[in-house]
A and B are shown apart, each in its own frame.
Chain A
Amino acid sequence: MPKGFTLWFTGLSGSGKSTLAERVRDVLLERGMKVEVLDGDEVRTNLSKGLGFSKEDRDTNIRRIGWVCHLLTRNDVVAISAAISPYKAIRDENRKLIGRFVEVYCECDLDTLKGRDPKGLYEKAFNGEIKNFTGVSDPYESPEKAEVVVNTASEDIDASVSKIIATLEQLSYIPATDGRGYSEDEEESIKQRLKDLGYI
């Protein structure tokens, strides 16, 4: 059974992708998995150095990240991408390339993002000092079928991490270790009940 998969975070700048990626990475590392995080900002300083923010350059950047995730995934590594990845078509292209692909949409409204704005980017974007800023002067296409949607404006970070881990367990990409299931005795009793009604 392959062990690798790609966890693809997408969402606007400041929506919590990198923070959640790190938290999920820590959980997966604790469970003994090999994990690599490809953070959007870091990628732009090495793998995609020199690329700008035109649609063409953004697409190239996301395709490059997708290609690295593909290589990691097929070598049993959990690849976590945390880049804005604004265009649905390119995300879907990566999904198709990688196969074992879990999309996590970090949903967050603009007012909350403006309020956070640790680097002052939204303020600059709204003042016209930064061009092609996703969500302000450049489009962001929300996913329609993300495996996980976390609302980082309203959800507690622990709740978002749990939601992501629970989905990975349900998809059998990681083994379940929680208390969500039944004990062996309970399972036997449930089996019996289902048998008594002809359900199994």
Chain B
Amino acid sequence: MLFFRGRKKRRVCVVGLDGVPFGLLKRLAEESVMPRTAAIIREGGLRQMRASLPPVSSVSWSCFMTGANPAEHGIFGFTDVSRDSYQLRFPTFADVAVPTFWDTLGERGRRCAVINQPATYPAREIPGALVSGFVALQLQKSVWPKTHLPALERMGYRIDVDSRKAREDADGLFDDLEATLKTRRMAAGYMWKQESWDYFQVVVTGTDRLHHFLWNAVDRPDDPRHQRAMDYYRRIDDFIGGLWDAFHKGRSADREGEGFMLLSDHGFGALRRDLRLNAWLHDNGYLEYVKDDPASVADIDPDRTRAFALDPGRIHINARERFAGGCVDAAEAPALREEIAAKLRALKFEGEDTVAHVFTREEAFHGPKQGLAADLVVISRAGFDLKGTTKGREIFAESHFQGMHTWDDAFLWTLLPAPESPDISEPAAAILEWLAK
């Protein structure tokens, strides 16, 4: 039903569902597991969306919150590599090099309440309130302003599930997911009332954790844990429905649903094998280590390594101009890059193609930090989870995970103007434009 209300200040409410693919959301809505969501998306506006390159939460959510490409905001993965020592480093929220659209809203006198957005740790000042999400460690460093900390502590707010335990105790994971979702709802309810917001956002990250460990329970009706997985989605649907109701309760200025948005940051699919890129690079003579049991890319032999990989599918050429120990001359790099890309495109497992795309840095990234990006970004075919581990020499390995991230099947539901086939950096502009009126 569409109707119009009085002239009130426009607001936006975004619900993020980490790692929920377009196809799954559509199916759960159609199968009445998510009836409230089904009613919302019935009006149209559901789109399949491309995640960031690579499709991991830290990069994708950074694209969403800045409306920018990784070569502009500077977040290329959960890890970066030191140009001097090849040691891994872990970017923080402070490494995001451009303003978020929350900052832009603040400049226009608007306020935001943002809960559990990944890649915002440690929390910094935003115009309003922020509770950081993954990889947040301590609640104390996850909350801005600190005045909200006591209330969150009192409600027993949980930043995330215990992924370490999840591996050993699948049933325990469901309890953990439910308990975490419960405190997320409490935090959302608290912020909804406490903050005088124009923009509200809450992200559910339990979906991603469930998919990593128990994708089969979500995807296969014959899986013994299927009903529990569906119950978890029913709870999420109820959460979305509650936010929808609260959002429209006598305050919305325009067409019903117009300021409401649902989205995921990447898709998910069944995992068949890990595809270890460093093992492949080693096998093909591009990479050598200084020891037999390398702990990370810091243990590569720089003189004999022409390329190495970081998670999940980022291949760096060990170029002299970029790395302290680089051994590849600038003139040789383009041909080497093309050679690696061509070989990867032809990589097969039991006769089956495993690589869907190999993007060059110039194809994937646009902006002043392009020089920091990987030379190649690989996107695999369904079932092959790209890894940057230096452990193991087997290229295709069994995994204890059941699910893997996918690139081109995140989803976006919005009634605001948006491209038919959007990229995750694009909703920001639509939100800013909507709130500018």
Contacts and interface: CB of A to CB of B under 8 A. Distances in A.
B369 A170 contact: yes
B163 interface: yes
A162 B387 CA distance: 35
A130 to B, nearest CB: 33
Contacts of A180: 92, 94-95
Interface stretch (B83-91, B192-200, B220-228, B417-425): B83-91
B368 A147 contact: yes
B401 A170 contact: no
Interface residues of B, number: 40
A53 B302 CA distance: 49
Interface string A134-146: 0000000000011
A198 B321 contact: no
Contact of A196 (B88, B164, B311): B164
A187 interface: yes
B385 to A, nearest CB: 7
A196 B84 CA distance: 27
Interface stretch (B26-34, B74-82, B253-261, B346-354): B74-82
Nearest to A163: B97
Contacts of B134: 193
Given A182-B90, A186-B137, A200-B88, A145 B311 contact: no
B275 interface: no
B372 A171 contact: yes
Contacts of B82: 172
Given A187-B90, A198-B399, A199-B311, A193 B83 contact: no
Interface residues of A, number: 29
Contacts of A171: 371-372
Contact of A170 (B163, B312, B372): B372
A196 B167 contact: yes
Given A172-B84, A180-B94, A199 B164 contact: no
Main DSSP-derived SS at the A contact region: loop
B163 A200 contact: no
B89 to A, nearest CB: 7
Contact of A200 (B164, B311, B324, B369): B311
11 contacts: A1-B84, A146-B368, A167-B97, A170-B95, A170-B372, A180-B92, A193-B135, A194-B79, A196-B164, A197-B163, A200-B78
Interface of B: 56, 74, 78-79, 82-84, 88-90, 92, 94-95, 97, 134-135, 137, 160, 163-164, 166-167, 209, 212, 296, 311-312, 321, 324, 367-369, 371-372, 385, 387-389, 399, 401
